[in-house]
Amino acid sequence: MSRLALVFTLLTLGGAPVRAQARDAVSAERVAARRRFADAKFGLFIHWGVYSQLGAGEWVMHNRKIAVADYESLAATFNPTKFDAATWVALARRAGVRYITITSRHHDGFSMFKTAQTPYNIVDWTAFKRDPLKELADACRADGLKLFFYYSQLDWHHPDYWPRGATAWDNGRPDHGDWSRYLAFMNAQLTELLTRYGAVGGIWFDGMWDKPDAPWQLDSTYALIHRLQPAALIIPNHHQQPRRGEDVQTFEQDLPGANTAGFNTSYVSGDLPLETSLTMNDSWGFNITDKDFKSVSLLVGYLVRAAGNGGNLLLNVGPRPDGTIGPEFAARLDSLGDWLGVYGTAIYGTRAGPVPPRSWGASTRRGDTVFVHVLDWPDPLLALPPLGAPVRTAYLLRGGAAVRFEATAAGVTLALPSAAAGEPDRVIVLVTGGRGPS
């Protein structure tokens, strides 16, 4: 009996319920891919599709109760002649993201890639005739960026998405359909995405919350994905506790464990990588009237607090229908890249630090090096709880000036230098371990 089989047997012999994850035999490739994902810390989310043309977000078909036939006409006019994958990848690089996650098919059901499963795709349905996901996959590979595909399980267009879920409306579809054919359609599309675009980072599922109790047969879909690409991660945005076969726990518009959005779970996985997805304004898909853009310091705060919670930040842009990314998005991404150029060592490759996230900031760590991120603290002294290891030296990340500190049994007090103008995060580097300061 292999060691794995023995563990299985021991776990199940007692008859006690075993947590799903304990039964999940995770391949070495996925374990390594999860570690690389957690190291990456910062990704770029891209919501782009037929809906971008109406400039009212990716839910416009639902919100305006657009009939399938009318949306099909809209889809036929999608022609993003200014799309250039290399330009997007160059922006992503400047921003300092380590991966891109792009909508391959959103709830509107339109495939943004060449697919043999339906003519309702960008190559066969539009005058554009190009496959932007192929171009993006090639550009990402050339630049060493990982590419993930967002894939909606919910579909407002496909006749076999039946019975319909919570977001259904009378949009002209027949009142019948074949669910098993829908599952086969999805599995066939996923097979295309995992065999025609080289090695992908993984699949980011969304929309299962429309019919949480439907027979999704996730086990077989997940097994298919793991078989086709053993290092591809499954990132489900179902707002529930992670299930067997899944690799990352997501939080939509919230930091791990928080639920300001109203649909996240307070459960936080202790062993899976975490990811917070966040809009830069208030919309995922291009929204021409939404100018409610977050400031650069607020975005830095999200990146720092996500990392301090042990998670990644997946920050969204909604490109215009012509394929360009608006200046509000680009300027913020450039600024974040500039910030990471100085402070990135306190983010990339880190894990949650010894001080739990606080209202003043967060801590990250890499090995014996602890990074204290002071985002919002007006006083000259900052008291930390015990760090679990003596502090050998303390210095400011920017410039390297020594930081005075005092360690007692009750914790470590730092004497903070004042923040430079426009500095959203004062990062104090604590080198810990050994026998402590002499």
Note the Cα 78 to chain centre separation in Å: 26
Question: Which listed residue (155, 160, 206, 247) binds ligand H79 by CB under 6 A?
Answer: 206
Closest CA to 391 of 354, 359, 421, 430: 430
Number of neighbouring beta carbons within 10 Å of residue 413: 15
Q: How far apart are CA 60 and CA 66, in angstroms?
A: 8
Closest CA to 372 of 296, 436, 304: 304
Question: Which listed residue (104, 277, 283, 335) binds ligand H79 by CB under 6 A?
Answer: 277
Measured from each CB, the residue nearest to ligand H79 is: 166
What kind and span of H or E run contains 370?
strand 369-374
- Using CB under 6 A as the binding rule, whether residue 153 contacts ligand H79 is answered as no
Smallest distance from ligand H79 to CB 52, Å: 13
Nearer Cβ to ligand H79, position 60 or 183?
60
Question: Which listed residue (209, 216, 302, 395) binds ligand H79 by CB under 6 A?
Answer: 209
Give the list of residues 6+ apart from residue 210 with CB closer than 8 angstroms, or none.
107, 153, 154, 165, 166, 167
Nearer Cβ to ligand H79, position 312 or 363?
312
Nearer Cβ to ligand H79, position 58 or 247?
58
Smallest distance from ligand H79 to CB 284, Å: 4
Interface stretch with ligand H79, choices 132-140, 204-212, 214-222, 287-295 (CB under 6 A): 204-212
Q: How far apart are CA 407 and CA 437, in angstroms?
A: 9
Write phi, then psi, for 39 (nearest 5 degrees).
-70, -30
- Using CB under 6 A as the binding rule, whether residue 425 contacts ligand H79 is answered as no
CA angle 181, 115, 215 (to 5 degrees): 25
DSSP class of residue 438? -
Smallest distance from ligand H79 to CB 46, Å: 11
Write phi, then psi, for 249 (nearest 5 degrees).
-100, 130
Nearer Cβ to ligand H79, position 154 or 304?
154
List the structure tokens of 246: 């899944």
Smallest distance from ligand H79 to CB 210, Å: 6
- Using CB under 6 A as the binding rule, whether residue 108 contacts ligand H79 is answered as no
Question: Which listed residue (28, 69, 166, 421) binds ligand H79 by CB under 6 A?
Answer: 166
Smallest distance from ligand H79 to CB 151, Å: 11
Closest CA to 200 of 124, 253, 134: 134
Interface stretch with ligand H79, choices 129-137, 187-195, 206-214, 360-368 (CB under 6 A): 206-214
Please list the residues that pair with 411 across neighbouring strands. Answer: 408
List the structure tokens of 343: 């402070």
By CB under 6 A, the residues from 167 to 196 that bind ligand H79 are 167
- Using CB under 6 A as the binding rule, whether residue 160 contacts ligand H79 is answered as no
Question: Which listed residue (108, 160, 247, 252) binds ligand H79 by CB under 6 A?
Answer: 252
CB 215 within 8 A of CB 247: no
- Using CB under 6 A as the binding rule, whether residue 395 contacts ligand H79 is answered as no
Nearer Cβ to ligand H79, position 164 or 398?
164
Smallest distance from ligand H79 to CB 60, Å: 11
Number of residues that bind ligand H79 (CB under 6 A): 11
By CB under 6 A, the residues from 210 to 229 that bind ligand H79 are 210
Smallest distance from ligand H79 to CB 107, Å: 7
CB 333 within 8 A of CB 367: no
Question: Which listed residue (38, 58, 98, 238) binds ligand H79 by CB under 6 A?
Answer: 58
The sheet carrying 351-352 orders its strands as 351-352, 361-366, 369-374, 426-432, 391-396
DSSP class of residue 388? S
List the structure tokens of 254: 């919230």
- Using CB under 6 A as the binding rule, whether residue 275 contacts ligand H79 is answered as no
**What is the number of residues in the chain?**
438
**Contact positions toward ligand H79, by CB under 6 A?**
58-59, 166-167, 206, 209-210, 252, 263, 277, 284
